[in-house]
Structure 1
Amino acid sequence: MRRSRFLLFAVLAVMITASLLLLDGCAGKAEKETSSTSSFSVIDEAFEVIKQKGVYPVEGDMLVEGALRGMADVIGDPYSTYLSKEEAAAHKESLASERIGIGAELTRSNGKFIIVAPIKSSPAEKAGLRPYDEIVRIDGERLDGDTLRDVVKRIRGKKGTNVSMTIFRPELEKHLEVTVTRDVIPVKTVSAELLEERGEKIGYISITTFGEETAKEWQEETNRILKEGADGLIIDVRGNPGGYLHSVGNIAGSLLQNDTVFAYMQDAKGALTPLVTEPPEGLVFDEKLKTMPIVLLQNEGSASASEVLTGAMKDLKRGFIAGTTSFGKGTVQETMDLSNGGEMKLSTHKWLTPKEQWIHGKGVGTDLEVEQNYLFTEHIRMVTEIYAEGDFHDDIAYAQRLLTGLGYSVDRDDGYFDESTAEAVHAFRIDAEVDANDAMDRAFFTALREKVEAYRKDSKNDSQLQMAIGYMHHKITDR
């Protein structure tokens, strides 16, 4: 083993621009075992038996990989796992400040690999890729039997190299050949805007994950909105799955006084090590951040590093927590390089809040519970099939839920396309200025997606944010 580091593992996600998301913490060096406590000759015996007598041929490296995965799996901890060389590289890339790729989100729908949307000004957009384009071939080879992860891996590559794709464009009903040059895709994790509500200026800042450059981005965005006159700050970590521990430590430090314990690390023997705020190297935060009113927005998708931040702010009574109870992930992982290029990730510590509370499996509670509007929680799909009255499918149930959320009258949401569904579809198509018929086709699903996205972009529909704004207004006026 060449090195180790502490991780707080969050969630897994597979996309063109991201594969694995996890939370890295303070660096440390794993101690090498100086003596053996047991013999592993039985592993060598099993290896030779399978290689020599197995009727199904298996590469030796695959057997080793299987053994490593098995050792991690038998622990029974979802956050302890073995990562192959490729998987290890992917999870490091996911929290980098930039990635190499084509800059497009990809999904799998009904066995087809569909472009959801190219990132603005990305290589994918410049090459002419559009939403709903179906990828049929990559570099001349079909995708038969490929998983989403396989397709992502085939599209990735080195900066400056080309990837050729055969895509099917539904509106043209024809196949097109597209060549995309891979390039650097910047990754921004912090965004902010100044909200002017009821005569008050409130800074709204969203953190999507705690990556390598998040603290620097936080400094830039908070400096900007404070110069614009923000009197209070709403920090949105809804759906934030985690990130680097040192990153969340820097942000917590900007909001708390120096030498404040914002969390504890607890080892297997129960010993506690305090994590203390300190001035970050190379960054200078505005001192107003330490005293201005703070509201944090979280939900069940806020995990790991997000919970370190909200847990600290709640225990120390530095911020008001609104939304719903967070995910509840309170373990810390240490990742160690293995000689085959892979990594073994093992839960070695718990992390506790400043009041020494372990939130694992429970989450961080809120000061004000606010359920979100349903249309904000539904995952938006790319649907390519056509459905009519009498059909039954989960895609229909998905559409029924969205239509209901948009205010159309639908008697059911179980996926059966009944008469009330047909009437709602017809009414929606007229309102959306789509050809007036009763079918759920690509034009219908495209319009439905656009309506829901427009609904989400209007902050007036975000009930959790509106509640946070109302609370912040009273905090500012009461000062």
Structure 2
Amino acid sequence: MDEEKSEKHPPKEEEGKYIRMKKFPFIMGIFLLIFLTAGITTIALTFGDEKVSSIAPNPYSEFDKLYSTYDTIKDKFYEDVDEDKLVNGAINGMIDALGDPYSDYMNEEEASSFHESISSSFEGIGAEIQEQDGQIMVVSPIKNSPAEKAGIKPNDIILSVNGKSLEGLSANEAVLKIRGKKGTKVDLAIQRAGVSDPIKVKLTRDTIPLETVYAEMMDDGIAKIQVTSFSEHTVEELEDAMDKMDKEGMKGMVLDLRGNPGGLLDQAWKMASIFVPNGEKLLQIEYRNGEKEVYKSENNGEFKKPVVVLVDDGSASASEIVAAAVSESAHIPLVGVKTFGKGTMQTATDFKDGSNFKYTAAKWLTPNGNWIHDKGIKPDIEVKLPDYASLPYISPDKEWKIEDSSNEIKAAETMLKETGYNPGKADGFYDAATAEAVKKFQADHDLKETGVLKDETTVSLMQELRDKISKNDTQMKRAVEEVKKQIK
């Protein structure tokens, strides 16, 4: 059904400099969240001890087989069984049958971890993941996290954690294996497209911070504001950052949504409304019966200075809602590469025992009615980062020296070349030229001149490359050019 059934508007918050909103009733109270952390999980079944009278008709006859199986296992299995495990297994099996990576059943421990990642800081490696085709895929690393610093990329497949395979696990099960206390170490095996051998990564877990907005004034009065996820106070952080940039003389802005895996839907609505004129569409929600809810901006004080939005393949979910809204309803240009492509919405229900059920409840569509699921949003101006931005991680725990050969050595040779040192041909063979380049690098960085690549030398080399990528951010440079065009 294509006809628009009704119009809705974002909920009221305290009025800020850039947002003016009115209160509205939530639809059934369900669309509070968009969750990117995916997995495979559940629908609620409860098994009681009371027997239903045989006189009363059974409204759920399709469950007869399930009840019969449960009773038989409970009474006749050769060992005692954990009834909670049986129920949880039945729920998981039902969700598995949906084939939807964004629907999940979470036990108490998994649910606690899930709520942590949405509303507070947590300890781990800092990467949003989802289950896809039986594998655990990285949606995006979080800014300044151990995962980002180790060079983990969107679409990397995490094959194992501390030598134990993740194949067949849900995203929530994988999260529990990857997370851990600050300061503890974890070994990951990563499969990356275009790299034949798995990449071994050793990470030290850390506290993943709550801060989601980072602002910096660049040349010519252009502010760079990066939003790393959509948490409880993201829009408030953004308003504060914009006020700060205004006081520093902001003439235009680059809103950086690269690597942003999404988060809370209400924050996406509010953020989009900063830039979308009053009365214009923000998004549409489509239910299984084809009925649609249309959400419009009620912002009478939208930001009127030039804006460009940066996106990449790690921009997902709530990020894509903002990108689509500002592009289609405010004609703000998008720069970068095609986004991740998540066009469904999830709602979550907490059970009394602390477990949680998250399921896909609807599709979301762009203001123009486009469904971007599995397709992503193509930017107006496509700009890629340099090839060396995709070089694989090199483990500092490994020692590489003359006569060694590996793909990691090839990556190191390329890093040396890109940072101004000549290792000869980047062929993966550690020869005298490679050792000499490493010695020169060590001398320039006050490191012991051994010509051996390991420990601090490896860490310093990767940091040097990250600094170069940041300085030669081709996507940001093009976005700044576009803002300057608008200022003129």
Which TM-score applies when normalising by structure 2? 0.69
Matched, 1:211 2:234: no
Query: Counterpart of 1:472?
Result: 483
Displacement after TM superposition at 1:252 (Å): 1.0
SS where residue 7 of structure 1 aligns? coil
Query: Counterpart of 2:33?
Result: 7
| In 2, Cα distance between equivalents of 1:105 and 1:224 | 30
Matches within 5 A, 1:78-157: 78-96=101-119, 98-99=120-121, 105=125, 149=175, 155=181
Query: Counterpart of 2:460?
Result: 447
For 1:8, the aligned partner's letter is I
Displacement after TM superposition at 1:407 (Å): 4.7
| In 2, Cα distance between equivalents of 1:415 and 1:58 | 54
Query: Counterpart of 2:274?
Result: 254
- From 40, 55, 60, the equivalent of 2:83 is 60
- From 361, 368, 372, the equivalent of 2:385 is 372
Displacement after TM superposition at 1:218 (Å): 1.0
Tell me: CA distance 1:417–1:307, structure 2 relative to 1, closer, same or farther (3 Å): same
- Kept in 2, the 8 Å contact 1:383–1:395? The answer is no
How many residues are treated as equivalent by the alignment? 388
Matches within 5 A, 1:197-276: 200-276=220-296
- Kept in 1, the 8 Å contact 2:397–2:454? The answer is yes
Could you tell which deviates more after superposition, 434-443 or 72-81?
434-443
- Kept in 1, the 8 Å contact 2:279–2:298? The answer is yes
For 1:94, the aligned partner's letter is S
- From 383, 393, 396, the equivalent of 2:396 is 383
Please, what is the CA RMSD of the aligned residues? Answer: 3.8
Post-superposition Cα deviations, 1:121-162, rounded to whole Å, max 9, x if no partner, equal: xxxxxxxxxx9xxxxxxxxxxx99899855776638xxxxxx
Displacement after TM superposition at 1:10 (Å): 1.9
Tell me: CA distance 1:38–1:372, structure 2 relative to 1, closer, same or farther (3 Å): farther
- State the identity %: 29
| In 2, Cα distance between equivalents of 1:422 and 1:468 | 39
SS where residue 121 of structure 2 aligns? strand
- From 332, 339, 354, the equivalent of 1:326 is 339
- Kept in 1, the 8 Å contact 2:125–2:208? The answer is no
Displacement after TM superposition at 1:393 (Å): 4.5
| In 2, Cα distance between equivalents of 1:94 and 1:195 | 31
Which structure shows the higher strand fraction? 1
Displacement after TM superposition at 1:58 (Å): 5.2
| In 2, Cα distance between equivalents of 1:206 and 1:231 | 17
Post-superposition Cα deviations, 1:199-232, rounded to whole Å, max 9, x if no partner, equal: x311111100011000111111111111221111
Displacement after TM superposition at 1:257 (Å): 1.9
For 1:434, the aligned partner's letter is L
- Kept in 1, the 8 Å contact 2:337–2:379? The answer is yes
- Kept in 1, the 8 Å contact 2:103–2:360? The answer is yes
| In 2, Cα distance between equivalents of 1:356 and 1:374 | 35
| In 2, Cα distance between equivalents of 1:304 and 1:68 | 26
Matched, 1:337 2:350: yes
Which TM-score applies when normalising by structure 1? 0.70
Query: Counterpart of 2:368?
Result: 355
Tell me: CA distance 1:100–1:79, structure 2 relative to 1, closer, same or farther (3 Å): closer
| In 2, Cα distance between equivalents of 1:224 and 1:466 | 22
SS where residue 282 of structure 2 aligns? strand
| In 2, Cα distance between equivalents of 1:251 and 1:57 | 53
SS where residue 316 of structure 1 aligns? helix
Structure 1, unaligned runs of 5 or more: 13-19, 21-29, 108-118, 121-130, 132-142, 157-163, 168-182, 280-284
SS where residue 95 of structure 1 aligns? helix
For 1:256, the aligned partner's letter is V
| In 1, Cα distance between equivalents of 2:388 and 2:353 | 45
- Kept in 1, the 8 Å contact 2:333–2:380? The answer is yes
Query: Counterpart of 1:46?
Result: 69
For 1:318, the aligned partner's letter is H
- Kept in 2, the 8 Å contact 1:3–1:336? The answer is no
Displacement after TM superposition at 1:456 (Å): 4.0
For 1:351, the aligned partner's letter is W
| In 2, Cα distance between equivalents of 1:347 and 1:385 | 43
| In 1, Cα distance between equivalents of 2:178 and 2:185 | 15
| In 2, Cα distance between equivalents of 1:407 and 1:38 | 72
| In 1, Cα distance between equivalents of 2:425 and 2:235 | 47
| In 1, Cα distance between equivalents of 2:368 and 2:401 | 57
SS where residue 35 of structure 2 aligns? strand
- From 197, 201, 211, the equivalent of 1:188 is 211
- From 392, 416, 419, the equivalent of 1:406 is 419
